[in-house]
Amino acid sequence: MKIYYIYTAIVTKGGADRVIVEKANWLSEHGHEVVIVTDTQLGRAPAFPLSPKVKLKDLAIDFSKEYGHSFPVRIYMYYKLMHIYRKKMTKLLMHDRPDIVISTLGRDISFITKVKDGSIKIGEAHTTKHFIRNFHLLEQKNIVFKYLTKYFRWHMDKQVGKLNALVVLTAQDKVEWEHIVPTYVIPNSYPFYPEIASSCVKKQAIIVGRYNSAKGYNYLVEAWRMVYDRHPDWKINIFGSGEYEEQVRQQIHDYGLQDVVIMNRPTDRIMEEYLDSSIYVMSSVFEGFAMVLLEAMACGLPCVSFDCPYGPRNIIAEGEDGFLVEYLNSKALADGVCKLIEDPALRKQMGQNGRKNVLRYSRDCIMPQWEELFKSIINK
């Protein structure tokens, strides 16, 4: 089959970028013709290595041009760029005639089902419905944006309803979408599974993710202040970048935790960093699925996470390979971490359990589900 993924740009060392590349690579290695269509790659190298069999086609729109203007000018620029985007995307799809087009529910969702290229249109949601496209941040600005967001959500539902199918990551997500569009649950797979797991003996924890509103680093730093009071010889490494970086740095400084909460840049050697750690901590406000939990468990780390919507509760087996603690309760997060610190045998056993439990998310278990979905929709 000829399969086209639509995504803005593969330039961030984050979960969605990695997932799309991993899927594209697997499908291309299993006999499919795979193309990733971006709008703002602009000559930048992909954040993750693409198989030589996967083609990357960039439409070179550069939507960053809309930023830095007044609101009216920004609206004008957005619609101007969208007109160019729609024209280029339509021309590409009408020429190439793919069998399957997968939208990640970005800007293209407003027109992709209207492109009559003969392809089946499938949506792929990488986060929960409420938090999609960061609408939750927009509606918090003022009453005008609240009503604008209400319209945007209605418009998103309307366009998603025109797709042939939507794939979500959890059963909870399916409940939110299935009244709009035929909805299927296919979780993500882990990207690596090292031969040797972490020994879980080093006095070091780890968290991986962008500095943004979703990751809840303010709760993490607050929790680690409590961990530090009880176990000052333990530290935690953060690996990430993003718009809230300076705010997190300031909070760490205010609490005097610079020596134990270490901020690191994103790394290509993240597997080695997991293996050099003993606990994975997640303070997210929401997660589509939490790829980092799969990665950490594959490396043999026990996990402590807020029970946030919706990913962690679908991955962590409470009390078996980690702890799901009360949502946004920093003390509960700290208590979960301290319980693992204070019981080395439990820490190691949970890590071993997680390494076994995560096998259900191997590529060989997950990716055939995508092939079956493609075949079933085509047959219909």
- Tens of pLDDT along 258-306? 999 999 999 989 999 999 999 999 999 999 889 999 999 999 999 999 9
Task: Look up the pTM and report it.
Answer: 0.90
Name the residue type at position 197.
A
d(CA 379, CA 192): 33
Instruction: Look at 11-20, 170-179, 234-243 and tell me which has the smallest mean pLDDT.
Output: 11-20
| pLDDT score at 207 | 98
pLDDT reading at 49 higher than 80:
yes
Residue of 132, 166, 122 whose CA lies nearest to 152: 132
Length of the chain (residues): 380
| pLDDT score at 191 | 92
pLDDT digits (tens, 9 = 90+) for 129-149: 877 776 666 666 777 667 778
Q: What is the mean pLDDT of the chain?
A: 94
pLDDT reading at 86 higher than 90:
yes
d(CA 76, CA 69): 10
- Looking at residue 313, the DSSP 8-state letter turns out to be H
pLDDT reading at 16 higher than 90:
no
Hey, what long-range contacts does 54-61 have (CB within 8 A, 24 or more apart)? 54/21, 54/24, 54/25, 54/28, 56/10, 57/92, 58/9, 59/85, 59/88, 59/89, 59/92, 61/85, 61/88
| pLDDT score at 135 | 67
pLDDT reading at 154 higher than 70:
yes
| pLDDT score at 38 | 97
pLDDT reading at 189 higher than 80:
yes
Scan for tokens 């409940």, then name that residue: 175
Name the residue type at position 348.
K
| pLDDT score at 139 | 63
Q: How far, rounded to the nearest angstrom, does the alpha carbon of residue 281 sit from its chain's CA centroid?
A: 16
Instruction: Write the DSSP string, 223-242.
Output: HHHHHHHH-TT-EEEEE--S
Name the residue type at position 350.
M
Question: Rounded to the nearest 5 degrees, what angle is found at the Cα of 160, between the Cα atoms of 154 and 162?
Answer: 115
pLDDT digits (tens, 9 = 90+) for 356-369: 999 999 999 999 99
Instruction: Write the DSSP string, 171-196.
Output: HHHHHHHTTTS-EEE-----S---SS
| pLDDT score at 275 | 98
pLDDT reading at 101 higher than 90:
yes
Residue 313's pLDDT band (cuts 50, 70, 90): very high
| pLDDT score at 380 | 80
Residue of 103, 106, 116 whose CA lies nearest to 6: 103
